[in-house]
Amino acid sequence: MVELDEDDVRNLAHKTLGFDDKETGVVQGTGQIKTFKQLGFTEKGKSKKPDGWYLPNDTTKVAIIFEAKSTKEDVYNPAWIDELTRNVKIAAQKYKRIIGILYNGKEQYVIKYNSTSMNDSDTIAQIKDIAKTLQNKSYYLALFNENKIDKQKIYELTKKINDCLHYKFGIKNLYHRMIFTACALVAKRFDAKIIKGQSYLGMKSEIEATLQKQETESKEEKEKIDFLLEVNREIKMNNPDNQDAINNFICWVSQISDCVNSDYWNGEDVMGIFFNEFNRYKAKSEAGQIFTPDHITSFMYRLIDVNMHDRVLDATCGSGAFLVKSMCNMIKESGGVKSSFYKNITKKQLFGIEFDREIFALACANMLIHKDGKTNIEHMDTRTEVACDWMKSKTITKVLMNPPYEHKNGCIEIVKNVLDSVAYDPQNSDVPRHIQCAFILPDKKLEKDGKSKRYGNKLLEKHCLKTIIKLPENLFFRVGVTTSIFIFESGTPQNGQNIIGYYIEDDGLLTVKNQGRQDIRGRWQKIEDYWVKAIHDGVDDKYNTRQVINPHKHLSYQMPKKPFEIFEEDFIRTMMDYEMYNKEIDPKEFGESLLSKVLYNSDVTEIDDDVIITIKA
């Protein structure tokens, strides 16, 4: 990178921040040409000169103070942070909310001042979850638009919607209930006028009209909206005249929509809950799909080091959980929905395939609700050559998948096609691409016998199984299957290389009545952090589950066998059983007689904290 001096960085920031834009009611600019006194401050520090300023005439609005340093300087230097903090405090003489930015042309350090903080020590604090490089001023102004989302409220609203559609409207098909709700949320995103008092037909007409007139940037986007509408029109209501139910549905959908469309949107907090709540009533689809819990999508994203520059594939994407999670995390890493990377992430870095027609409609709706990403979701069969060609053309860099498990649905064929396709370089087929691919599969899936050999053998001829992470036994407790995460590196033959295994026995989640398994004690994040570091470092000091697996012997995590133990009471029990057998004593009658004597024919005394029972002869 070319070294920039402080003036160069300041000039670059002037344009990037948009401080050269014409905007009424604001004083803004860059360059050490004005003191704080010249900018309207009359108290302490008035002689100092900021490198940049954005000062609205309305002092209740957000102000920005900018400080530039050369590329040779470290933005984490305490001296420069103190300088920025002092200047922000000067601006705080007039403004209640201020963003302070320290930038060296490569990275930034951002602080947030809020005079409404109850604790003075927390009034100024660093913002850590931000873009690495400088953004337009709108990005920083939006940092005060936080809308914290109440997860429990979303669970409750979604359950109400599901029950309303099921019992009040009579929609028996679970996916139809999901699609109907998703269409309403998509329409709300596009400002549909869905209001209380509308009839069912009026509400449905408004939803369809809003989606039909929606302008799209491509033919593919239009086709997906039309597909969603087509499936939505197939949904039939048994009782469309229940006005109270219609009003309730509109109210609940509007509340969820407000969460989704806030500037502080976080996909896993809203739509992840929405789809997981609906899917809780049908843990497994007819196509053999098992929907991935939200906390596991987050874990897998981190396990294979997905980042904001990756191109992520889920070739059996279901309702889009992995793609939504990836989009959410990548956008957060890039700096949020106001960042300059946002549009590229949503349109060019997320790829999905789904074969089931109704679930494909849900995936389209899910991505539409989440402000894009639907362009690269295709209604195809991953087992076909057409799908393989499509995957090869996308230059995928990471794979996150939970394919259908049954052999009849081509589980291993799907995994093989994905690995072969992402390892293929369209420009040079002789040079394999080494791509990290994470799949959730049943524990023993790769070891089941095929016609002549294990299913997994065909995968290892071209690809390397690096890691197996056995997941908690009760993760899919309603489906009755135990699973592991299998991490492959495409384009590298196994050649006998050992596999490293781990076992996450407990994820900290608890079962909540009528709401499935939830992290109600907030334990998962700490558990996730531990396992991500342990697996990356190759050291499991806490649980001691790490094992080396010989691929010639096993393709699954090997649960340790408990050693054989015998205790004195076992010996006594066996001896007594034998004696009663010899003397023809009925154990049941003997047990009942003994219990009766202990309970009703004994002397009971208490000495200190001990209870002594003396059986009378």
Between 116-125, 246-255, 352-361, the lowest mean confidence (pLDDT) is in 116-125
Average pLDDT over residues 572-597: 83
Among the listed residues 288, 228, 253, the one whose alpha carbon sits nearest the alpha carbon of residue 408:
288
Co-location of 242 and 264 in the same domain: yes
| Buried/exposed code over 585-606 (b: 16+ C-beta within 10 A; e: otherwise) | eeeeeeeeeeeeeeeeeeeeee
Give the distance, in angstroms, between the CA of residue 427 and the centroid of all CA atoms in the same chain: 33
Of the pLDDT bands very low, low, confident and very high (cuts 50, 70, 90), residue 148 is low
pLDDT of 271:
59
DSSP 211-260: HHT---SSHHHHHHHHHHHHHHHT---S-TT-HHHHHHHHHHHHHHHHHH
pLDDT in tens, 18-73: 888 778 889 999 988 888 988 888 766 667 889 999 999 888 789 999 999 999 99
pLDDT of 272:
60
pTM of the full structure: 0.70
pLDDT of 437:
98
Co-location of 156 and 247 in the same domain: yes
CATH number of the structural domain spanning residue 38? 3.90.1570
pLDDT in tens, 439-484: 999 999 999 755 556 888 889 999 999 999 999 998 876 667 899 9
pLDDT of 33:
83
pLDDT of 73:
93
Average pLDDT over residues 132-158: 77
pLDDT of 64:
95
Residue 506 lies inside a defined structural domain of this protein: no
Distance from C-alpha of 194 to C-alpha of 251, rounded to nearest angstrom: 9
Co-location of 170 and 69 in the same domain: no
Co-location of 49 and 135 in the same domain: yes
Of 144, 178, 211, the last residue of a domain is 144
Co-location of 160 and 268 in the same domain: yes
pLDDT of 121:
44
Of the pLDDT bands very low, low, confident and very high (cuts 50, 70, 90), residue 595 is confident
- Mean pLDDT, rounded, of the chain: 85
Residue 200 lies inside a defined structural domain of this protein: yes
Three-state SS annotation for 540-580: CCCCCCCEEECCCCCCCCCCCCCCCCCCHHHHHHHHHHHHH
Of 92, 127, 144, the last residue of a domain is 144
Task: Take residue 272 and report the two structure tokens written for it.
Answer: 């992840």
pLDDT of 118:
38
Q: What percent of the chain has pLDDT over 90?
A: 43
Residue 122 lies inside a defined structural domain of this protein: yes
pLDDT in tens, 558-581: 998 777 777 788 888 888 888 888
| Buried/exposed code over 409-448 (b: 16+ C-beta within 10 A; e: otherwise) | bbbbebbbbbbbbbbbeeeeeeebeebbbbbbbbbbbbee
Residue 238 lies inside a defined structural domain of this protein: yes
pLDDT of 119:
43
Among the listed residues 253, 249, 285, the one whose alpha carbon sits nearest the alpha carbon of residue 271:
253
Q: Where are the alpha helices (DSSP H) in 423-567?
A: 457-460, 524-537
Q: Where are the alpha helices (DSSP H) in 435-548?
A: 457-460, 524-537
Domain holding 102, by residue range, is 6-144
Co-location of 140 and 195 in the same domain: no
Residue 426 lies inside a defined structural domain of this protein: no
pLDDT in tens, 406-433: 878 889 999 999 999 999 877 777 788 9
DSSP 97-122: EEEEEEE-SS-EEEEEEETT-SSGGG
Residue 215 lies inside a defined structural domain of this protein: yes
Q: Confirm if 89 and 96 have CB atoms less than 8 A apart.
A: no
Co-location of 95 and 199 in the same domain: no
Task: Count other C-beta atoms under 10 Å from residue 50's C-beta.
Answer: 26
Co-location of 40 and 160 in the same domain: no
Residue 110 φ then ψ, to 5°: -125, 135
DSSP 3-state assignment of 355? coil
Distance from C-alpha of 274 to C-alpha of 154, rounded to nearest angstrom: 7
Co-location of 15 and 131 in the same domain: yes
Co-location of 175 and 135 in the same domain: no
Between 73-87, 153-167, 281-295, 413-427, the lowest mean confidence (pLDDT) is in 281-295
pLDDT of 150:
67
Average pLDDT over residues 97-102: 94
Of 213, 247, 282, the last residue of a domain is 282
Between 76-80, 253-257, 262-266, 513-517, the lowest mean confidence (pLDDT) is in 262-266
Of the pLDDT bands very low, low, confident and very high (cuts 50, 70, 90), residue 120 is very low
pLDDT of 617:
61
Beta bridge mates, 611: 606
pLDDT of 503:
98
Co-location of 181 and 234 in the same domain: yes
pLDDT of 449:
59
* Phi-psi label, residue 522: left if phi above 0, alpha if psi -120 to 50, beta otherwise: left
Distance from C-alpha of 554 to C-alpha of 470, rounded to nearest angstrom: 14
pLDDT of 117:
44
pLDDT of 504:
97
pLDDT for 190 beyond 70: yes
Residue 229 lies inside a defined structural domain of this protein: yes
Q: Confirm if 226 and 265 have CB atoms less than 8 A apart.
A: no
Distance from C-alpha of 352 to C-alpha of 379, rounded to nearest angstrom: 9
Distance from C-alpha of 361 to C-alpha of 356, rounded to nearest angstrom: 9
* Phi-psi label, residue 490: left if phi above 0, alpha if psi -120 to 50, beta otherwise: beta
Residue 504 φ then ψ, to 5°: -95, 95
pLDDT for 104 beyond 50: yes
Is residue 496 packed enough to be buried (19+ CB in 10 Å), middle (13-18) or exposed (0-12)? Answer: exposed
DSSP 115-182: TT-SSGGGSEEE--SS-SS---HHHHHGGG------HHHHHHHHHHHHHIIIIIS----HHHHHHHHH
- Number of independent structural domains in the chain: 3
Task: Kindly give, in sequence order, each residue whose CB lies less than 8 Å from that of residue 589, ignoring residues fewer than 6 positions away.
Answer: none
Q: Could you tell me which residue, 113 or 335, shows the higher pLDDT?
A: 113
Q: Could you tell me which residue, 285 or 336, shows the higher pLDDT?
A: 336
pLDDT in tens, 336-358: 766 778 888 988 999 999 999 98
Co-location of 26 and 41 in the same domain: yes
Of the pLDDT bands very low, low, confident and very high (cuts 50, 70, 90), residue 215 is confident
Residue 321 lies inside a defined structural domain of this protein: no
pLDDT of 286:
52
Q: What percent of the chain has pLDDT over 70?
A: 87
Q: Confirm if 385 and 325 have CB atoms less than 8 A apart.
A: no
pLDDT of 103:
95
